[in-house]
Structure 1
Amino acid sequence: MIADLPEIAGGWRVERIHVGQHDFKICRPTDPDALLDGATDENIPYWAYLWPTSYDLAAWILSTDWQPPGEVLELGCGIGLVGLAGLAAGWQVTLSDYEPFAVQVALANARLNGFTNAPGSVLDWREEPPQQYAAIVGCDVTYERTDHEPLLNFLDTALLPDGTAWLADCNRAATEEFLTTARERGYDIRRNELPAVDFSNRPKSTSVLRRLTRRG
């Protein structure tokens, strides 16, 4: 339990998550399903789960030679594993989510791992971004078709002209629709299948990383 996090249904647990050559201490809900009581379709606590793609994207960040030339924004930070990987890799990462409690938990996890000054932001993709970024990373952010246009609008304004977006997911059908629209709006896209990080009870899944840059 972290002192600055409130009690929740099912309680908290702190565990070590091994990714690449790094071990992260992660505080997360002991039983994320216990948070579903009273949740609406628009407010399901997806942030409370550690999804397989977040492990795979975190591992890629820790192993890649690519380095952002400036500040990075993580979209949909959830518990914060991907953002922690970025911080551990030396990136200047702002952890953001639509859900304020997710940002609170992610920042608590950043402090738990020694990143006491990591910035966080509660963001709604339908609103203007607070600034522009050299890179934007996101994990499983394209599965809702209703989010596609707001997300692309956000990328249009939040990315610097020569910026890069790295979006990973488990190859959902809705993502292909998002990518088609992104191409129509002037983005070049490169695809890379990510190696799967092995962890207990991992479901069978394949994570795919897409790199989006503006054409020309």
Structure 2
Amino acid sequence: MSIVADPTPAPADEARTRLLARIRREFDVTEEMLAFGGGAPIRFTRVADPNAVLDEVCRLETLREQGIAPRRELHVPYWAAVWESGVAVSEHLTRRAASAPIADLRALDLGCGMGMAGAAMAAIGARVTLGDIDTAALLFARLNTLPWAERCRVARCDWRTDDLPGPFDLIVGADVLYEVSQWPYVEAFARRRLASGGLLVLGEPGRPTAKGFADWLREKGWSLTREQARCGEMTVNIYEARPSA
């Protein structure tokens, strides 16, 4: 990923202006222009201070315990940070498209956070659904995919219990393997919603808890390849997997 200057930013359209104003009522934000894999720059709006979001969730949780209900369901705000896996997966998909185009494929960014991977896929032509359990994340995901709004949608999704209309030719998860307890849910969701011949792409930043994931997934009947990508000081594992026939 590279960050490039945007000397002549396009004027925000009405939809962007409204949505950005809504987000700014709750979050401090910053904007960057990101380029993945030699592709065209993407305007990406993100939380300026993820720790401030965590502090606010903790404050609201304290109020909830005192009987004051929050406006939305509370979750640990993993979505509010830009994770290395999201950057590495976005680079991988953009470079991969040179030999394996994803234009017009039905793609899902599962656990999308602020929508980095989903925006990268939309920029190279995919029809993208962005799903996350946290509705605050989906505000950012919608904003970051507005340039491709005609082929993008956002949807609240808890991969443990929910399904999304599909099937999908490509399911992408950037850093969704952080807890071993989540693996069966992610695997089962992908198996249900992948189209015949579809591909699962997962980014995982080398956490000790995920060391056995590849063997575990193969035991579940998936064929699997792995490559590694450097992202700053971190090496990210990128898995491509298909369910065996």
CA–CA distance in 1 between the matches of 2:169 and 2:144? 24
CA–CA distance in 1 between the matches of 2:81 and 2:136? 13
Correspondent of 2:141 among 100, 106, 120: 106
Secondary structure of 1:57's match? helix
Report deviation, 1:6.
Answer: 4.4
Secondary structure of 1:119's match? strand
Secondary structure of 2:228's match? strand
CA–CA distance in 2 between the matches of 1:128 and 1:8? 27
Per the alignment, residue 20 of structure 1 pairs with 37
Contact 2:107 2:170 in 1 (8 A): yes
| Runs of 5+ unmatched residues, structure 2 | 1-16, 62-73
Any residues of structure 2 matched to 1:61-72 within 5 Å, and which?
Answer: 61-64=93-96, 65-68=99-102, 70-72=105-107
Residue 43, structure 1, aligned to residue 75, structure 2:
yes
Contact 1:135 1:159 in 2 (8 A): yes
Report deviation, 1:211.
Answer: 0.7
Residue 59, structure 1, aligned to residue 91, structure 2:
yes
Root-mean-square deviation (Å): 2.1
Correspondent of 1:29 among 38, 41, 47: 47
Correspondent of 2:238 among 209, 212, 216: 209
Per the alignment, residue 115 of structure 1 pairs with 148
Contact 1:166 1:210 in 2 (8 A): yes
Correspondent of 2:173 among 133, 138, 163: 138
TM-score by length of 1: 0.87
Give the partner amino acid of 1:125: W
| Runs of 5+ unmatched residues, structure 1 | 197-201
CA–CA distance in 2 between the matches of 1:19 and 1:176? 27
Per the alignment, residue 176 of structure 1 pairs with 211
Residue 127, structure 1, aligned to residue 127, structure 2:
no
Secondary structure of 1:37's match? helix
Report deviation, 1:148.
Answer: 1.1
CA–CA distance in 2 between the matches of 1:190 and 1:96? 25
Bigger-Rg structure (1/2): 2
CA–CA distance in 2 between the matches of 1:90 and 1:76? 20
CA–CA distance in 1 between the matches of 2:25 and 2:47? 10
Contact 1:128 1:157 in 2 (8 A): no
Correspondent of 2:228 among 186, 193, 208: 193
Report deviation, 1:61.
Answer: 1.4
Structure with the larger helix share: 2
1:42-77 superposed Cα distances (whole Å, 9 cap, x missing partner) = 822111111122122111211112234731111111
Contact 2:191 2:243 in 1 (8 A): no
Per the alignment, residue 113 of structure 2 pairs with 78
Residue 4, structure 1, aligned to residue 22, structure 2:
yes
Give the partner amino acid of 2:149: T
Contact 1:161 1:214 in 2 (8 A): no
Question: Does the C-alpha gap of structure 1 residues 172 and 66 become closer, same or farther in structure 2, counting only changes over 3 Å?
Answer: farther
Greater Cα offset, 175-184 or 140-149: 175-184
CA–CA distance in 2 between the matches of 1:179 and 1:122? 28
Give the partner amino acid of 1:135: L
- Which consecutive segments of 4 or more residues in structure 1 shift more than 6 A? none
Give the partner amino acid of 2:160: R
Residue 150, structure 1, aligned to residue 185, structure 2:
yes
TM-score by length of 2: 0.77
Give the partner amino acid of 2:163: P
Report deviation, 1:106.
Answer: 0.7
CA–CA distance in 1 between the matches of 2:195 and 2:112? 20
Contact 2:109 2:115 in 1 (8 A): no
User: More relative contact order in 1 or in 2 (CA 8 Å, sep 6+)?
Assistant: 1
1:8-35 superposed Cα distances (whole Å, 9 cap, x missing partner) = 35x1222222333332212111111101
